[in-house]
Homo-oligomer: A and B are copies of this chain.
Amino acid sequence: MKTALFPGAFDPVTNGHIDLMKRALTLFDRLIVAVGHRGEKGVLFSVEERMEMLRESTRTLGAVEVTHFDGLLVDFARSLGADVVIRGLRFVSDFEYEFQMALMNRKLSGSFETVFLMPSEKYSYLNSTVVKEIARLGGSVSKFVPPAVEEKLKRTLGKRAGE
C-alpha cells in the first residue's frame, strides 16, 4: 500500500488541484492533502478555512485526507510514512522551481520520491493567485474553482469590501 502526500498552499484550492488529486488517486492507495503554512503574508484564507474548503471539495473523491503542517516537508512526510510526494507541472517555471525543491529534499534525506503529474491542459492557465485577483475584481470564477470555494470567495471578499 502506497501513501501519497500532496502539499501546497491551497489559498484556495482550484479545479487544477482537484484534477491532480483525481490522477493521484488512480495511482496510489491513500492521498493526504496537506496545507503548508509558515506564517506567510499575503494569504487570503486561514489554515482552517483552507482545510475546510479542501474537505468540502474532495468529499466525493474517495480516499483523501486533509491536514496541515508547518515545519520541513521532509520531516512531515517521514512522520506520515509517505512514499510519494505529488507535484503538478504545467510550465517551465514550475518545472525549474519544483526540481530545485525536489533536489533539496533529497539532500535533506527525504524518505520519499517526488512524482510529477501533468494536469489537464484545460487547467494549464490556472493558479490560486489569478483566481483571487479575478474574484476581487468582480469576475466570475465558477469555471476555475469548486462551488464551495466560489461561495467562500464571494462571502470573504464581499465582507472585506463592506468593512
Contact = CB atoms under 8 A, between A and B. Distances in A.
A162 interface: no
B118 A99 contact: yes
Given A92-B96, A108-B139, A137-B38, A117 B115 contact: yes
Chain A, interface size: which category?
A: 35 or more
Interface stretch (A47-55, A60-68, A122-130, A145-153): A122-130
A143 interface: yes
Contact of A130 (B71, B75, B104, B106): B104
Interface of A: 2, 23, 26-27, 38, 71-72, 74-75, 83-84, 89, 91-93, 95-96, 99-104, 106-108, 113-118, 120-122, 124-127, 130, 133-134, 136-140, 143-144
A27 B118 contact: no
Contacts of A89: 89, 95, 99, 116
